[in-house]
Amino acid sequence: MLILQSASPRRKELLHKITDDFKVESVPANECVIPSRPAATVMKNAREKALAIKPENGQTVVGADTVVYLAGRFFLKPKNAEEAFEMLKTLSGKWHSVYTGVCLATNGKVVCFYDKSKVKLKKMTDDEIKRYVETKNPLDKAGAYGIQDGVTVEKYTGSFDNVMGLPTEKLSAEIKKFLTDKED
């Protein structure tokens, strides 16, 4: 059985694509930003999240962290509507990277990895950004947008699920390998 260490409804929805044999727990974990190193940042944060829960009876904890990254700047979850507006204004019409780190942990064994996707947001007017911020709940999303909303994204390369917050194809393969190695 897996334990998803996350409060994200999107991660729960995405993990259901892989398995229904999991429960959700969300406990605080120390998160950080490692300047100019988005991949290292998301893997470290995913590890902190996974290790914040002590699994029982062979359970495996899944921790994940997602950041949006553009020109040396991290775009995390906005703290308020004004910050969401500024993030979207900065990202509007631009290609940027979305990194999601994932960590699997059980009884001393830890495996971390990440996936990277590229996204280009549509060019949006200030009014369009305001409307998005007012109607799409951007405060719980890195970069203040959700690719699944279908409103803001012009195009992307890489994993759609990664941009949503959990790279399911990569995670599925890593879980199989992790659980097989655990039994050896």
For 60-114, how does the pLDDT look when each residue is reduced to its tens digit (9 = 90+)? 999 999 999 999 999 999 999 999 999 999 999 999 999 999 999 998 899 999 9
Q: In terms of pLDDT, which residue wins out, 29 or 184?
A: 29
Average confidence score pLDDT of the chain? 95
- The residues annotated as belonging to the active site are 65
d(CA 143, CA 66): 9
Q: What is the CATH number of domain 2-183?
A: 3.90.950.10
139-142 long-range contacts (CB < 8 A, ≥24 apart) are 139/77, 139/78, 139/79, 139/80, 139/81, 139/84, 140/8, 140/77, 141/77, 142/66, 142/67, 142/68, 142/75, 142/76, 142/77, 142/98
d(CA 3, CA 28): 15
What pLDDT score does 56 carry?
84
d(CA 101, CA 56): 23
Q: Is the pLDDT of residue 5 over 90?
A: yes
Q: Is the pLDDT of residue 31 over 70?
A: yes
Q: Is the pLDDT of residue 183 over 70?
A: no
